[in-house]
Structure 1
Amino acid sequence: MKRITCVLKRCMALLLLLPLCGAAAIAPLLPVNLKIEYLDRPMGLDAPQPRFSWTLKSTGTGLYGQQQTAYRILVASSLKKLEANIGDVWDSEWKPSAQMAQVVFAGKPLRSDRRYYWKVAVKDEKQVVSDWSETAYWHTGILTPDLWKAGWIGSSVVFDPAQNDCNIPDPWLRKTFVLDAVPEQAMLYVASVGFHEVYVNGRRIGDDVMPTAVTDHTKRARYVAYDIASFLNKGSNVIALWLGTSWSIHGPYVTKDRPNTPIVAAQVDVYKSKDPGAAERPFATVRTDATWKIKASPSKLLGVWNSNRMGGELWDANLDEPQWNTTAYRDDDWLPATAYHPKLQVSAQQVEQNRRFNEIRPVAIKKISDDTYRVDMGVNFAGWIAADLEGKPGQRATLLFSEREQADMTFGLHSAYIFDKTGKGTFRNKFNYGSGRWITVKGVTKAPQLGDIKGWLVRTAYKEAATFSCSDSLQNWIYNTVRWTYENLSLGGFIVDCPQRERLGYGGDAHATCETGMLNYQVGALYTKWMEDWRDVSGTESIVGNMYDTAFARKEVMSGRHLHQGVLPHTAPTYMGGGGPAWGGIVVTLPWYFYRQYGDETILRKNFSLIRNWIGFLESNTRDGVLQRFGGRWDFLGDWLWPNATAEGMNNDSPQNLCFNNLYRIYNLRIAAKIAGRIGEKEWAVKWSSQADAFSGIIHKKFFNEKDTSYADGSMGNLVAALLADVVPEAWRQQVWKRLENEIRVRRKGHIHVGITGGALLFKLLREQNRQDLLFEMASKTDYPGWGYMKENNATTIWEMWEKDLPGHSLLHSSFLYPGAWYIDGLAGIKVDAPGYTRFIIQPPQLAASRLSWVKAGFESPAGFIKSNWSRENGRLQLDLEIPPNSTALLKIADADGLFLKEKKGAIRKIGKHKGITVYELRSGKYHF
């Protein structure tokens, strides 16, 4: 085998052999990417002991093995004090620690509605002190419930579910008040059931879209904080709120104490000082109450916010009053707002806001008739549009959204615009969104031009974390399309199944999306919030069928019937939809995946009761070691949407289904045992581990077929679940693996043959076992079923089913997004080893250069930026790697690649060799081999 020696970039190898010449006054490390609770400078944070995180940047060149050996955090009550290095709120002093994530605040008790400034410095491996980081800050919200003084107000008009379209106009609310001075601090906190926009003295505050995040409004309302100090004047001022109906009429959220209409509670304390001290009192306060005034606005929800009836928006230009939110406007004819008293917990929205991204321009417009035109936006997307239109005064133009070129409208998505006397106007989304590729415009007198229409993706504003490209154009298409689809599913602080038909947060679908999300985006806050949603909905069964028809819903009230404390609906925070054990089981797997990704034990502790109750619920439905079918027709689904599943029958009582759910239950038990062990719950760890072992024997005996070494019906999904759940006895494991390979390569001719849950488990298993060959084979097929088949059929987003032309299914869906994780931890070879990536693996896949000759990938991990570029040419492997400070990488190289590295003190150390793989430890730095 040809021996290849390693050469460090730009002749830096010599530096590895020599100490740094003379310790510099400032360490060549700098803390960067400062965050609190996974957020960048959050406003309105209600955590009394927030957690600080940062990563490290090397400010030198040619340096290896850089480490953090200590940190010091300063928190100050004013920017001036922090700049003087005075931590009057908290000076952590020097803490000998390599910890960079989830460092818990341990200073003086925080006050509500205050801004705090912070920075951090570190010591390196030579005990040299770094420069201070840039200054960051956060603003606390309402830290104790007694400080929330705002009343709930809204319209007296409530939703009538008997209507085809919503009968509630989106209301305007306003309050005029006088200030005797110009304020320095004024933070407005707005909690709404339904969406809202905020205006002060005629100016829109913030660039957020459709706040707040989607929330279980039987229990909770989230507030958003707005800094309005610079918008206030001495003298007369007006705060105006525009409410959007949206989730306020979602059937499962109906309760006796809350009206079926959008409502809002808001408050602001106004201070003369920018950083008010403990003794300073606000010189003015504004709270929502019945003295606020209300009027119907020109906008109204079309549809009823139900499956296939999400509708759109109606804008009546004849009702517009542009000055409605200014001090000059006279509101004498407005009515007093109606006060309400719902029993809602008010808490901060600790997840990024929705915002607009990726402006989209149409690629073609086709005339259908004299007043009808079909606009091709070029890509399937979920979001907003702006359309300049012309029509007859007083007439209505309609905009119909479709995922299919031959259909005017899919899933009932439509908006409308009523022209004023000018016959000209612009339709703009405000409190709803469309989804599709084609927009059919009807009722206009002039053909729209390409420049008259534009769209935007709307999503939660998390940041990207990864880049990936490779030599295979199909893999690049799959990766980019999976990411685009994921982004289109993440509006509102959770991941929906589809943005057009249901908008539900399915737990089963989360198996297909959560690791793709965590390996490609900075979604720590999003998944923390979504787990809170699962805690909120726990103990309640799911709603199936028409949510306004109690005969289908099986409930007395739409908020859900409380059953066993551990039962979970199949979606959160939305309650509706069908599912099975793998849907509720996300409350076990997601916290564990999250912990592995971010090194955050808090998510394990906060959700441990939820996990324990869920495992207990499954145990209550277990007889003689076998989980029994429970619930109604839609409550015990197994795998979902495998190829040709609709013809075979997905919702059935077959042994296949019973086997799959029992295997998944054992997988849940094994993960729950790991969680319990990690957080010191030893009794539960022993119990669950013992149960998993015992149930494995029972399920293996009941479902295993010795003749062909398969389980139940021999499906790919059951083979995968048995292996992943470690149900297969050691004596049979190798044969079951061969059976799975045969199922993929021979019986299915290299095609995937699983659905949402089975597919997610398949990719999980093969990623963990480094079977890039099998994954690449399935991801390379261009005929049915597969992602390449979608590409060949001109897809721009990932479909709900492997089939394209079955009526009623979505072409923008969460079902098959699980390859998105594989591109980073499989083809790029970046795998977490120690939770949070303080130690990780880089392992170039063993694929022939004729199949994949190069990969370029970057990953902004919780420990810092990782680069993994590899290429093979003429039998020669080349690597460009970057290991962030304060972390180490285990580089795994197959003998077949003929790359043998020389050990270098402080940089490269050979660990060992196993089954033709040599393992090297690389300390932080940049390498070229």
Structure 2
Amino acid sequence: MKPAPTLSICRLFSLLFAVGLTTAHGLTPSYLRCEYLVDPLGIHEAAPRLSWVTESDSRGEKQTAYEVLVSSSTEKLAKNEGDLWASGKLASDDNAHVPYAGKPLISRQNCYWKTRVWDRDGKPGPWSSDARFEMGLLDASDWKAEWIEAPLESGELPTSLSGAKWIWHATPGADQTKGSPLGTCYFRYHFQVPSDTQLDLCALTITVDDSYTLSINGKEITKVGGKDSWRNPKNINLLPFITKGDNVIAVAATNEATAAGLCAKLTIKLPDKDRVILFSDKNWKTSDKAHANWTSISFDDQAWQPAIEIAPSGQGVWGALNDKATKFPVPMLRADVKVADKSVAKARLYATALGLMDFHVNGSRVGDQVLAPEWTDYRVRCRYQVYDITPLLRPGANVLAARLAHGWYSGRIGNGNYQFWGKSPALLAQLEVTYTDGSVERVVSDAGWRFAPSAITSSDFMLGEDYDARMDVADWSNPGLDDSSWKKAIVRNEAKRPLDPQVMEPARVVDELKAKSITESQPGKWVFDLGQNMVGVVRLKVAAPVGTKVTLRHAEILNNDGSMYLANLRGAPSIDTYICKGGGTETWQPAFTFHGFRYVELSGLPTKPALDAVTGLVWSSDTPQTGEFSCSDARLNQLQSNIWWGQRGNYLSVPTDCPQRDERLGWMGDAQVFVRTATGNADVAAFFTKWLVDVDDAQTSEGAYTDVSPRAGSSAGTPAWADAGVICPWTIYQAYGDSRLLESHYPNMARWVEWCRSHSQGLIRVKDRGADYGDWLSQGANTPKELIGTAYFAYSTSLVAQAAKALGKADDAAKYQQLFKDIKAAFNSKYVKPDGRIEGDTQSVYLMALKFGLLDGEAKSQAVQHLVADIAGKNNHLSTGFVGVSYLLPVLTANQQDDMAFKLLLQDSFPSWLFSVKHGATTIWERWDGWTPDKGFQSPSMNSFNHYSLGSCGEWMYDSLAGLGQDPSGTGWKHLIIHPRIGGGINHASYRLRTIRGTAASAWKIDNGQFILDCKVPVGSTATVVLPTAVAAQVLETKRPLTEMKEIRVNGVVDGKLHLTIESGTYQFSSPMP
């Protein structure tokens, strides 16, 4: 397992003096990238931007000029012939976002490039190593392929409940149409099985509003829970559990908002006879009490009431159900490829899918991506991938093959959506083999492709994946296979939509986790503990007889009895199955589903499995890890690990909310709350470059941003969620200095502010607030939703004004700055009382008012006092939900309340960040009280144990505790603020970040009464250093008096702390502790 992103103090101190020293030959550029990516294929930008970094420990070092050569071949580049672009020497310190300015680039253009830079003394360094980028298919006319599909029949029993009735329990004498009181009620149903025959089929199709536990003949079979999970009926095979003669179905149904309703049908099939179907109706028995042994056959239920029939399936308050078949085989497709017996220059596969795909050439898998292509709003655009398959081809006969799954396009996704964008997946593929003589061979998806069912008998994000190894076709992607019995692909007439290239790192396996232990929770059910809540799938390794069905279930946490806690999965069974082909050890891993889990339950094997039968394969969009944090408090190191694991798991194609339950959407509120922390852990620039296009695609025509992007729901305009459309691009601009990104999203940002203006009254957001979530999952605090809407309206307006200024839009900047002032005045008039109290009087109201700049003078000071008093009055506990949590520590520190910030951060009783750490969490929980010792689990309707939002405290740990941040008035780490905060008994902390300009670091410790700070500033950057002393004469730098260091400027003392300005390089400061 890769270590969590923590860094020992000694290791960091050594690294500060060991990275990329300036050589005798000058500065050497490294880490060359184009549009944030290393050697990308499929660039569409007319002027692709180039970036590099230079590392040096020499003080004051800077790049004063650069030269870039871009060539059409490696041979020309080696000769320093920039036939596409020879920039010449350009006086500039830019090392990022340098726009290509050469000859116009055409589709498929090969571009090889390198750069060199001049140092502060005007001395040129050596040329960098070579890098490359390649243009994609820039024009729609470049695409010759056709969309094809491979329709296969479902092998699943349909989940239609047509004919069944919704039933519930009602107290005698009460209104029968309102059902039982809130909570749990109980259902029983008897049925007979003939004693003289073996059934072919006995299946229960059932749904319950909201959660239920199903038992057959006294044996608990399954638990299904979660808000709105009732929209998706389940098929449950009862054959293993029934007996000849009398049988009983027993259901405990729970609904916390209204009466619990049940709708079901029982399908029985005898050999050579028609099916018998029995429906839920008044013949079912109900009760509001769980009597002893009530699930058993022998229990006497004569005193129970007949169920109340409410409405036929599809009617009543429930409406239509998602009762179509949801399990379809994954097809395998193939096409012959003839390669001439001559030299191949390159072979490129351009491909995308409405759904998910993977490709194989001559028996070898193409690439290492998973869940390709990335999720988009398929009505607006698709992202295509470019694969270099040159090494996989050979002269003569070849085969290009693919598998095609439903994925986000036509599978189950959050909000109860199924087949949201379409009914079935489709594939678009274009293989181009370019020979050295200039000729091109092209193979495209068309009616000539053939398909057949693969061994993947079903694959779905929520349901899981089923694989029958007995159906394996060993040579399905090799030449020579007789595919004459395969069906011909069907050309689909798809609406024209933009085909944009992949502009972010793909999702792939980024880590592997070995099982730590194995226990038997029930006979034949083996629970593996991977030691870490993760996202991805497992690799299964078993040896069993042919036909053995191995079932894998996934859970984040265990019940007290060691069984899997599954209720919080709601309508996502997350079950993978594998049917063995026999004959030795078999290894398999799912291809087109993913789960969020720490524990894996394996059942179906005749004997105890080995510990290595299960290995966790961690999936994530492969954003490069750039930040490393560590400190002397092991609890905070675990908190940082939890933050990182939450980020890597939920940054999967889009920034999701959670990876385990039936949701997994690109929630905007979660994204904006966490984005500042995210940029401190990984390079997420390319990731957000892609997702922010999704955000704009989802924006309504009137200008309201939606709650989720890609848009898979109707709600829009929700305060704090919709505002992500402004906050996220601004934050990415600040972190990476990407003005082109800001420019591209600015019109949409301004449209959102104008939408808020037009949907407000007197600049107060009294109406049209979308889903109006408020301060989601706060603890005992009721922050007024109208106030949240107005505060965020002001904040978005302020950011748009700043964006306009940064982009040189002076008129817009003035207009929106004035609008911000007007909203601020309206906010103060409506919500702020003379004593400084703000309506609602919660921590979050003060945090928003202070963070968003809505208060001045005495009102600001009073707000700080009220905030601190509220925290102290709660015995140093927080009460914020999603809206306020990310601002809590930064606002306290910005207002000279470091002591209270440390008290909150180090608090380990509920509610607090360290409460979950104290109780063994390995990722951030969705709720402060997802589990507590006295109450157990929270409601399963909203109880994820991998939900990064509350981990947004990471930002403060990096820039305040470790002390490494950037000037909030700047961008791209041009000017750093190195200001460690000391407190909480912590005696050392460190943080290292690879910024867009190079490595920055801060590592401090307290040693024998001395404060020692080691820091590094990237080439070309400067930093303000703040030391915990007011006396410059007490400060040493690398053991020399500060007063002798002419290159260090002493700025003065502020609040008892010495402020210095330094240039790039490495430094060590020491001073007596105050």
Q: What is the TM-score when the length of structure 2 is the normalising length?
A: 0.77
Q: Identify if the C-alpha distance between structure 1 residues 421 and 843 changes in structure 2 by more than 3 Å, giving closer, same or farther.
A: closer
- 8 Å CA contact 1:158, 1:260 repeated in 2: no
State the alpha-carbon separation in 2 of the partners of residues 882 and 730 from structure 1: 37
Matched, 1:569 2:692: no
Q: Cα offset for 1:164?
A: 7.0
Structure-2 residue corresponding to 1:456 = 617
Q: Which amino acid aligns with 1:139?
A: E
* SS across alignment from 2:533: strand
Does 1:30 find its partner at 2:28? yes
| Equivalent position amino acid for 2:785 in 1 | N
What is the aligned counterpart of 2:443 among 270, 277, 286?
A: 286
Partner secondary structure for residue 835 of structure 1: coil
Contact 1:385 1:455 in 2 (8 A): yes
Q: Which residue of 2 aligns with 1:794?
A: 920
Deviates more, 1:786-795 or 1:128-137: 786-795
Q: 2:467 pairs with 301, 306, 315, which one? A: 315
**Aligned counterparts, 1:25-424, within 5 A:** 27-58=25-56, 63-157=58-152, 162-163=322-323, 166-182=326-342, 183-250=344-411, 259-273=422-436, 280-282=438-440, 284-302=441-459, 305=461, 310-343=462-495, 344-391=497-544, 393-406=546-559, 407-408=563-564, 409-410=566-567, 411=569, 412-420=573-581, 422=583
| 1:876-909: CA deviation from partner (whole Å, max 9, x where unpaired) | 2111122222111111223358754635667312
Amino acid at match of 1:330: D
Alignment-derived partner of residue 595 in structure 1? 733
Cα 1:637/1:78, change in 2 over 3 Å: same
Matched with 1:825 is 959
Q: 857, 865, 882: which one pairs with 1:738?
A: 865
Q: Deviations over 1:720-743 (max 9, x none)?
A: 111112222323111111111112
> 1:420-459 alignment to 2 at 5 Å?
420=581, 422=583, 425-459=586-620
Distance 1:338 1:96, change over 3 A: same
Unaligned ranges ≥5, structure 1: 1-8, 14-23, 540-563, 649-654
User: 1:656 — aligned with what?
Assistant: 784
Equivalent residue letter for 1:797 = T
Structure possessing the higher radius of gyration over alpha carbons: 2
- Change beyond 3 A, Cα 1:138–1:493: farther
Q: CA deviation at 1:298?
A: 1.1
Distance in structure 2 (CA, Å) of the matches to 1:456 and 1:770: 45
1:83/1:369 CA distance change after superposition, 3 Å: same
**Is 1:668 the counterpart of 2:825 in the alignment?**
no
Q: How does 1:445-844 map to 2 (within 5 A)?
A: 445-539=606-700, 564-576=701-713, 580-630=718-768, 635-644=771-780, 656-707=784-835, 709-744=836-871, 746-766=872-892, 768-769=894-895, 771-803=897-929, 804=931, 805-808=937-940, 809-833=943-967, 834-844=970-980
Task: For residue 53 of structure 1, report the CA deviation from its aligned partner.
Answer: 0.8
Structure 2 segments unaligned to the other structure (5+ residues): 1-12, 159-231, 233-321, 932-936, 1037-1041, 1070-1074
For 1:774, the aligned partner's letter is M
- Whether the 8 Å contact between 1:831 and 1:842 is mirrored in structure 2 is yes
C-alpha change, 1:923 and 1:181, in structure 2 (3 Å) is same
Larger CA deviation: 383-392 vs 221-230: 383-392
What is the alpha-carbon distance in structure 2 between the residues aligned to residue 732 and residue 726 of structure 1?
11
Distance 1:525 1:816 in 2: 24
Distance verdict in 2 for CA 1:125–1:27, change over 3 Å:
farther
1:326-354 deviation per Cα after TM superposition (whole angstroms, max 9, x unaligned): 00211101111111122221110110011
Given that 1:485 and 1:813 are in contact with CA atoms closer than 8 Å, whether structure 2 keeps it comes out as yes
> Equivalents in 2 of 1:181, 1:48: separation in Å?
35
Structure 1 residues 93-102 or 682-691, which shifts more?
Answer: 682-691
- CA deviations over 1:133-171 (Å, ceiling 9, x no partner): 111111221122221221111123488884576232111
User: Is residue 188–residue 267 contact of structure 1 (8 Å, CA) maintained in 2?
Assistant: yes
Tell me whether 604-613 or 402-411 shows the greater mean CA deviation: 402-411
1:854 counterpart residue number: 988
Instruction: Letter of the 1:358 partner, please give it.
Output: D
Contact 1:479 1:819 in 2 (8 A): no
Alpha-carbon spacing, 1:84–1:302, altered in 2? closer, same or farther (3 Å)? closer
The answer to which of 78-87 and 107-116 deviates more is 107-116
Aligned partner of 2:197 in structure 1 is none
Partner Cα distance (2:413, 2:614) in 1: 36
Asked if 2 retains the 8 angstrom alpha-carbon contact of 1:246 and 1:301, the reply is no
Residue identity opposite 1:144 in structure 2: D
Instruction: Please tell me whether the aligned partners of residues 638 and 922 of structure 2 are also in contact (alpha carbons under 8 angstroms).
Output: no
AA aligned to 1:82 is L
TM-score computed with the length of structure 1 as normaliser: 0.88
SS in structure 2 opposite 1:464? coil
Shift of 1:493: 4.4
Give 3-state SS (helix, strand or coil) of 1:243's partner. strand
Q: Does 1:909 align with 2:1056?
A: no
Q: Which has the higher contact order (CA 8 A, sep 6+)?
A: 1
Report if aligned partners of 2:382, 2:499 keep a CA contact under 8 Å in 1: yes
Number of matched residues? 858
**1:406-446 per-position Cα deviation (integer Å, ceiling 9, x unaligned):** 25335121111123355964341111112212211222212
Question: How far is 1:861 from its partner?
Answer: 1.2
Check whether the contact 1:414–1:434 (CA below 8 A) recurs between aligned residues. no
Judging changes above 3 Å, is the alpha-carbon distance between structure 1 residues 524 and 210 closer, same or farther for their aligned structure 2 residues? same
Task: Identify the range of structure 1 (386-395 vs 586-595) with the bigger mean alpha-carbon deviation.
Answer: 386-395
SS of 2:950's equivalent in the other structure is: coil
Distance in 1 (CA, whole Å) between partners of 2:520 and 2:714 is 39
| SS at 1:469 equivalent | strand
Q: Aligned equivalents of 2:1043 and 2:810: distance in 1? A: 41
Which letter maps to 1:173?
L
Partner of 1:295, secondary structure, is strand
More displaced stretch, 294-303 vs 439-448: 294-303
Decide whether the 8 Å contact of 1:323 with 1:329 is kept in 2: yes
1:530/1:286 Cα in 2 relative to 1: closer, same or farther (>3 Å)?
same
Are the equivalent residues in 1 in contact too, given 2:336–2:479 (CA < 8 A)?
Answer: yes
State which of 868, 889, 897 in structure 1 corresponds to 2:1023: 889
For the structure 1 residues 802 and 252, does the alpha-carbon distance in structure 2 shift closer, same or farther, using more than 3 Å as the test?
closer
Paired AA for residue 232 in structure 1: L
CA contact (8 A) 1:386 1:428 kept: yes
2:435 partner letter: K
Cα gap change, 1:258/1:514 in structure 2, threshold over 3 Å: closer, same or farther?
closer
Does the aligned pair in 2 maintain the 1:626–1:698 contact within 8 Å?
A: yes
Distance apart, 1:389 and its partner CA: 3.3
Give the superposed CA RMSD: 2.6
Contact 1:213 1:492 in 2 (8 A): yes
Residue 685 of structure 1, CA deviation: 1.7
